[in-house]
């Protein structure tokens, strides 16, 4: 393989990744064979996670570069379909892979707001943002803000929002890599976090965006296989066929029936054991959307995730790597398609898992069985040991009721193969997939932060005369420092995976959504307006989050801490429009620049720099 011969490499992409996919499948079969021959589950887990990380690191090494264009935007030559896969991996984080099906399992319909929000956001990316930012020709998102509005204040505010949003997000990802690495490799969580970071840095440090792009494509292939194979297997076992996503309607109906017989919603609440933090008993119906406030909560959460999607710099910057504006647009559509493959599977997975546990006609069910027999199950014992599953016989009848079974929502995806009694090789595959999902997102986020600091803060503000070599060294040092900080914060376990992710979206939309959109779509938007928009949006959003989460304030119309972006972004819009109209319109040069980004043809606004 000649990864360094660029022209060849791009032309041969389908072949290279085809071989890679085939190789990975052979590896999976090999593991299955080893399992058959009595190799222990632990060894298989270690091989899965270890082998895939070595591959990613090798791709990272082969993609090393000392060219600015390759480091920041992968040389602007990534074909749309491959950029779509890379974006999908960049996008689907540990939260999507590990926590989403679990969230749907526990939260039912209300939780599907995440599924809708995390896909619908791409419509905004394609229609409002990506093609125009690509035409602009910037290296980073603050680069656009800084040039469109002019002046260091605007640029630095954009860097600030980017760092806050992305750093919140990246700690959650490093946390997820730590969780998975610690389970698969049997090391303590804190060590798992640093181990995960090492893998992430190996993928990104030497080759910047170019290395991240090609590892993310490899990671997407692993994660999508790892997500879909177990679901198809399980559904086939239960008689729902091999396209479970289209056939699980009956399972939804069956769960609704079963919920009545097991007494969901009528049983008294039992307290979870105190030494098992974060465990919950199932108490929400699978399919019971409400109206009024419940509907409001659904649409506001979806809105936050969508506007956040369209403002998150690590996603937007993926579209800087395509060859043309047309390719950028095309690539957004492909990204959404690849993301869709996982997201329309997640509700199916949650539904099947719930059915496995509830349905007394299935051998896997545990509700209504004797506690003694449930405690003897291998998966219950294993997850009980790590304090992620607990059973309390509250009414002392020796039978497990729904309100007596507790588990952490996060484990649904990882534990499902074991619940369904699939061979361990599947669990190993799922662990590798979760690792790929968390690593690929962490890569993209770390790179977004380090690039903004090295390009926008260091090169554009502090030392505009710095030579290429120095710029790229600064970028790499920053990558290590920020990664280390992220791992340090993650090892303190401050927030759950999901809470932190939702906050990142809200921070991003509060500070960046309107300055970016109006920068393209409203010529009259000017520097003072943009500065006001970013500062007020970020300020009001942060204040509201603080007041609702810690300050004891009653949320306004149900906008809780997961939805603070609505408040922040509204404030940002008002501030930006009012201040823009009160101050002078942008000069002719700026207006001409906006005209230029609105048409695909011609040179990019920023030449190579």
Partner 1 sequence: MSESQQREMHWQKTRSLMIIHLCIWFFFSFVVHWFAKDLNAINFIGFPLGFYMAAQGSLFAFVVQLFIFVKQQDKIDREFGMAEDDNA
User: Which one of the spans 67-75, 221-229, 240-248, 439-447 is the region binding partner 1 (CB under 8 A)?
Assistant: 240-248
Told to check if 10 binds partner 1 by CB under 8 A, we report no
Q: Residues 261-272, buried b or exposed e (16+ Cβ, 10 A)?
A: ebebeebeebeb
Angle (nearest 5°) at CA 317 between 322 and 461:
120
Q: Does 595 bind partner 1 (CB under 8 A)?
A: yes
Q: Is residue 390 helix, strand or coil?
A: strand
Q: Write each residue from 22 to 61 as x if it is in contact with partner 1 (CB under 8 A), else as -, in one continuous string.
A: ----------------------------------------
Give the CA dihedral 93, 127, 522, 153, nearest 10 degrees: 20
Q: Min. distance of Cβ 321 from partner 1 in angstroms?
A: 15
Instruction: Determine contact, residues 541/507, Cβ cutoff 8 Å.
Output: yes
Q: Which residues contact 305 (CB under 8 A, 6 or more apart)?
A: 113, 114, 116, 117, 118, 120, 121, 502, 505
Is residue 600 close enough to count as binding partner 1 by CB under 8 A?
yes
122 makes contact with partner 1 (CB under 8 A): yes
257 makes contact with partner 1 (CB under 8 A): no
Please, what is the minimum distance in Å from the beta carbon of residue 515 to partner 1?
Answer: 18
Q: For partner 1, which residue of 124, 422, 448, 490 counts as binding (CB under 8 A)?
A: 124
Of the pair 23, 249, the CB lying nearest partner 1 is at: 249
604 lies in the site for partner 1, by CB under 8 A: no
Strand (E) or helix (H) holding 146: helix 141-149
Of residues 210 through 229, those in contact with partner 1 by CB under 8 A are none
CB of 258 to partner 1, least distance (A): 15
Cα 245 from Cα 238, distance rounded (Å): 13
Check residue 585 for interaction with partner 1 (CB under 8 A): no
Residue 127 found at the interface with partner 1 (CB under 8 A): yes
Cα dihedral: 34, 37, 38, 39 (round 10): -20
Half-sphere exposure of 273 (CA within 13 A, CB side): 15
In the complex, what is the shortest distance from the CB of residue 588 to partner 1, in angstroms, rounded to a whole number?
14
- How far is the C-alpha of 51 from the C-alpha of 375, rounded, in Å? 34
* Residue whose CB is less far from partner 1, 148 or 455: 148
Q: Is 337 in the site for partner 1 (CB under 8 A)?
A: yes
Q: Kindly list the distances between the CA atom of residue 599 and the CA atoms of 129, 198, 307, in Å, as whole numbers in the listed order.
A: 13, 42, 24
Residue 150: which H helix or E strand, with range? Answer: none
Work out whether 475 is an interface residue with partner 1 (CB under 8 A). Answer: no
The answer to whether residue 252 forms part of the interface with partner 1 (CB under 8 A) is yes
Phi, psi of 266 (to 5 degrees): -105, -20
| Intra-chain end-to-end CA distance of the chain, in Å | 31
Contact 307, 509 (CB under 8 A): yes
CB of 511 to partner 1, least distance (A): 22
Q: Which is nearer to partner 1, 325 or 430 (CB)?
A: 325
Helix or strand holding residue 391 (H, E): strand 389-391
Q: Judged by CB under 8 A, does residue 319 bind partner 1?
A: no
Displacement of CA 257 from its chain's centroid (Å): 34
Query: In whole angstroms, what is the distance from residue 124 CA to residue 143 CA?
Result: 20
Residue in 32, 283, 333, 394 binding partner 1, rule: CB under 8 A: 333
> Which segment (180-188, 204-212, 336-344, 367-375) binds partner 1 by CB under 8 A?
336-344
Does position 250 bind partner 1 by CB under 8 A?
A: yes
Among the listed ranges 225-233, 343-351, 402-410, 491-499, the one in contact with partner 1 (CB under 8 A) is 343-351
Rule CB under 8 A: is residue 368 a binding residue for partner 1? Answer: no
d(CA 418, CA 60): 33
Please name which of 559, 566, 557 lies closest in space to residue 537, comparing C-alpha atoms.
Answer: 566
Q: Which of 55, 74, 85, 115 binds partner 1 (CB under 8 A)?
A: 115
Binding mask 276-315 for partner 1 (x = CB under 8 A): -----------x-xxx---x--xx--xx--x---------
CA distance 46 to 65: 31
Site string for partner 1, 84-113 (x = CB under 8 A): -------------------------x--xx
The verdict on 247 binding partner 1 (CB under 8 A) reads: yes
Which residues in 345-364 contact partner 1 (CB under 8 A)? 347-348
**Contact pattern from residue 396 through residue 415 relative to partner 1, giving x for each residue in contact according to CB under 8 A and a dash for the rest:** --------------------
Q: For residue 399, which phi and psi values (nearest 5 degrees)? A: -115, 140
Based on CB atoms, which residue is closest to partner 1, 269 or 601? 601
Give the nearer residue to partner 1 in terms of CB position, either 118 or 424.
118
Tokens 């004891």 correspond to 552
Report how far apart, in Å, the C-alpha atoms of 236 and of each of 232, 233, 348, 353, 540 are.
Answer: 6, 5, 13, 13, 50
Site for partner 1 in 494-523 (CB under 8 A): 521
Closest distance of CB 21 from partner 1, Å? 22
CA 536 to chain centre: 27
421 is an interface residue for partner 1 by CB under 8 A = no
The distance of closest approach from Cβ of residue 253 to partner 1 in the complex, given in angstroms and rounded to an integer, is: 7
The binding site for partner 1 (CB under 8 A) comprises 109, 112-113, 115-117, 119-120, 122-124, 126-128, 131, 245-250, 252-253, 287, 289-291, 295, 298-299, 302-303, 306, 323-326, 329-330, 332-333, 336-337, 340, 343-344, 347-348, 521, 595, 598-601
């Amino acid at each position: 393989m000649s990864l360094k011969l660029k022209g060849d490499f791009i032309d041969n992409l389908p072949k290279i990744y085809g071989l890679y996919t085939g190789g990975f499948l052979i590896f999976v079969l090999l593991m299955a064979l080893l399992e058959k021959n009595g190799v222990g589950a632990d060894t298989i887990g270690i091989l899965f996670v270890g082998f895939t990380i070595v591959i990613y690191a090798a791709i990272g090494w082969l993609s090393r570069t000392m060219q600015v264009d390759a480091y920041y935007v992968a040389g602007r030559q990534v074909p749309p379909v491959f950029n779509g896969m890379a974006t999908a991996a960049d996008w689907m984080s540990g939260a999507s892979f590990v926590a989403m099906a679990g969230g749907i399992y526990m939260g039912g319909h209300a939780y599907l707001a995440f599924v809708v929000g995390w896909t619908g956001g791409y419509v905004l990316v394609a229609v409002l943002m990506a093609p125009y930012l690509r035409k602009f020709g910037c290296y980073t998102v603050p680069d656009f803000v800084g040039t469109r509005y002019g002046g260091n204040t605007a640029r630095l505010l954009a860097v600030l929002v980017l760092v806050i949003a992305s750093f919140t997000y990246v700690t959650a990802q490093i946390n997820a890599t730590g969780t998975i690495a610690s389970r698969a490799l049997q090391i303590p969580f804190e060590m798992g976090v640093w181990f995960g970071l090492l893998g992430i840095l190996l993928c990104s440090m030497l080759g910047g965006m170019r290395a991240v792009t090609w590892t993310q494509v490899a990671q997407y292939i692993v994660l999508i296989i790892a997500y879909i194979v177990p679901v198809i297997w399980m559904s086939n076992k239960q008689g729902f066929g091999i396209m479970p996503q289209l056939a699980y309607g009956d399972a939804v109906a069956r769960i609704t029936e079963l919920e009545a017989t097991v007494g969901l919603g009528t049983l008294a609440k039992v307290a979870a054991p105190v030494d098992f933090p974060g465990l919950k008993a199932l108490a929400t119906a699978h399919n019971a959307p409400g109206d009024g406030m419940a509907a409001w909560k659904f649409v506001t959460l979806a809105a936050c995730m969508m506007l956040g999607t369209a403002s998150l710099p690590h996603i937007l910057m993926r579209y800087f790597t395509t060859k043309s504006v047309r390719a950028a647009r095309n690539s957004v559509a492909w990204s959404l398609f690849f993301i869709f493959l996982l997201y329309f599977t997640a509700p199916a997975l949650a539904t099947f898992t719930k059915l496995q546990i509830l349905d007394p006609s299935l051998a896997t069910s545990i509700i209504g069985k004797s506690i003694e027999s449930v405690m003897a199950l291998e998966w219950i014992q294993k997850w009980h040991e790590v304090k992620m599953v607990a059973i309390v016989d509250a009414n002392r009848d020796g039978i497990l009721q729904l309100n007596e079974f507790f588990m952490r929502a996060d484990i649904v995806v990882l534990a499902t193969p074991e619940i369904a009694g699939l061979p361990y090789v599947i669990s190993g595959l799922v662990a590798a997939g979760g690792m790929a999902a968390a690593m690929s997102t962490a890569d993209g986020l770390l790179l977004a932060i380090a690039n903004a600091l090295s390009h926008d803060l260091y090169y554009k503000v502090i030392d505009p005369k710095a030579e290429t070599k120095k710029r790229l060294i600064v970028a790499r040092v920053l990558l290590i420092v920020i990664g280390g900080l992220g791992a340090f914060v993650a090892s303190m376990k401050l927030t759950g995976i999901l809470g932190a992710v939702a906050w990142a979206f809200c921070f991003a939309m509060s500070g960046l959504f309107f300055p970016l959109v109006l920068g393209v779509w409203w010529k009259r938007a000017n520097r003072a307006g943009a500065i006001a928009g970013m500062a007020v949006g970020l300020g009001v959003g942060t204040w509201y989050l603080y007041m609702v989460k810690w300050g004891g304030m009653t949320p306004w119309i149900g906008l809780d801490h997961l939805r603070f972006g609505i408040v922040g972004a509204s404030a940002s819009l008002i501030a930006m429009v009012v201040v823009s109209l009160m101050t002078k319109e942008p000069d002719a040069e700026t207006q001409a620049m906006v005209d230029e980004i609105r048409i695909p043809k011609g040179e990019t606004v920023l030449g190579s720099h």
